[in-house]
Chain A
Amino acid sequence: MLVEFELIDRARSGDDGAFSQVVQAYRKRILGTIARLIGRPEDVEDVGQEVFLRLYYSLEQLRTAEVFEPWLYRLTVNAAYDYLRRQKRRQESRMSDLSEQQVMMADAAAGGKLNAEEQRRGKVREQVEALLEHVSEEDRILLTLKEVEGLSLKELEKIYRVNENALKVRLFRARQRVLKAYEASEEKESGAGQNTV
C-alpha cells in the first residue's frame, strides 16, 4: 500500500483533500500500467483521469480500505478495456492509427536523430504491441498485467474476482497464442534475413 488505510477512509467519507493525496500517491504507478496496457502515450493521461474519476464516484461503495488496491486496479482494467474497445471500433486510416510517439520515432529515425538505445526500445515496443494484437482486448490486458506488470495470480484473482484456475487456463491460452505469433514473426524475420543474404 502506498498510503495509510486511514487516508482512504477519509477520502471515502468525502474528504477531497484526502482524495487528492491518494491520487498523487498512485497516479504515477497507474499511468505506467495504463501506458503498457494501451500502448499509446498520448492518451495515457486521459485514461488515467478516467480511472480516478471513476474512483471518486465509486469510493463510497468500497467495503474496506484493505481492498483499495485491487479495486483501483479493477477500475484501471475497466477503463483500459473501454479505451481499447473504442480504439478498435474507430480503426481509422493507417497513418492516424500510429501513435504520436510512433510517428515521432519514424520521423526521427528517418532523420537519423535517434540513438541506438532509443531505437531498440522503439523496436521492442512495436514488437510487443504487434504480438498482443493476436489476442482479444481482455486477454491483452490480463497477459500484460501478469507478464509485464508482474502481478501474481492471487492479485489477479482479487482484481478479476474469478478463481485462480480459470485465470490460469485463460492466461495459458493467451500466452500460447502470443508464443505462436512470436515464433511466426521470428521465422519471418530469419527468412527475410536469409533472402537478403
Chain B
Amino acid sequence: MDRMNSQDNDSKLDGLDKLFAEYREAMPDDAVPQKDAGASFMPGLWQKIDARRNEKVFALDTLFAEYREAVPDPDPSPSFMPNLWKKIEARRNESVSVFRRWAQVCMLATAALTLAMVAITHIQSEPLYSASYVDILDAAHSVDSVQLMASGDYQ
C-alpha cells in the first residue's frame, strides 16, 4: 500500500516538473518585445513608485486630519480665569519685590558711598604738613648753609 502511494507521489512530482519546464519554454526571456520593454519599463516603474508614494502622502494627510478630530479644542476648566489672574498678580508682586530689592541695594550703596566720601573729606581736611613751605625750606637748607660757611667756600 505504501509502495503504491510513493509511486503515485513520484508520478505527480514528475508531472509538476514537466509543467514547469513547459511554462519556462512558453515564457522565454524575450517573450516581451525588447523595444517596448526598454521604452516603457522605467517610466512605468517610476509611475508605480510615484503612485505608491502619493498613496502614502494622501494617507499621511488623512492621518493629520484625523488627529485634528481626535484632539478637539478642550473646554477650559472653571478655574482657568481665576488661576490666570493669580499668576498675573504673582508676577506683578514678583517684579515689585525685585524692584524693591533693587531700591534697597541702591539705597545701601548710596549710604555707603556717602560715608566713604565723608571719611575721605575728613581725612583730607587734616593738614598733611604742620609747617609752612618756607619753614620746611629753611629747615632743609639751614644745615647745608652752615656746612658751606664752615668750609670757607662761601665768600
List A residues at the B interface (Cβ < 8 Å).
20, 23-24, 27-29, 31-32, 35-36, 39, 41, 44-45, 48-49, 52-53, 56-57, 121-122, 124-125, 127-128, 131, 147-150, 178-179, 182-183, 186
Contacts and interface: CB of A to CB of B under 8 A. Distances in A.
A29 B73 contact: yes
Interface size on B, as a range, is: 20 to 34
B59 interface: yes
A122 B71 CA distance: 9
Interface string B45-68: 000000000001101110110111
A179 B66 contact: no
Given A24-B81, A56-B88, A31 B67 contact: no
Contacts of A128: 63-64, 67
B80 interface: yes
B83 interface: yes
Contacts, number: 77
A57 B74 contact: no
9 contacts: A28-B74, A36-B68, A45-B83, A147-B61, A147-B64, A179-B60, A182-B60, A183-B56, A186-B59
A28 B63 contact: no
Given A35-B74, A52-B84, A125 B56 contact: no
Contacts of A131: 63
B77 interface: yes
B81 A31 contact: no
B79 to A, nearest CB: 8
B18 interface: no
B77 A182 contact: no
Given A53-B91, A124-B63, A182-B59, A20 B81 contact: yes
B152 interface: no
A53 B87 contact: yes
A26 B91 CA distance: 22
Contacts of B76: 27-28, 31, 45, 48
Contact of A124 (B60, B61, B67, B87): B67
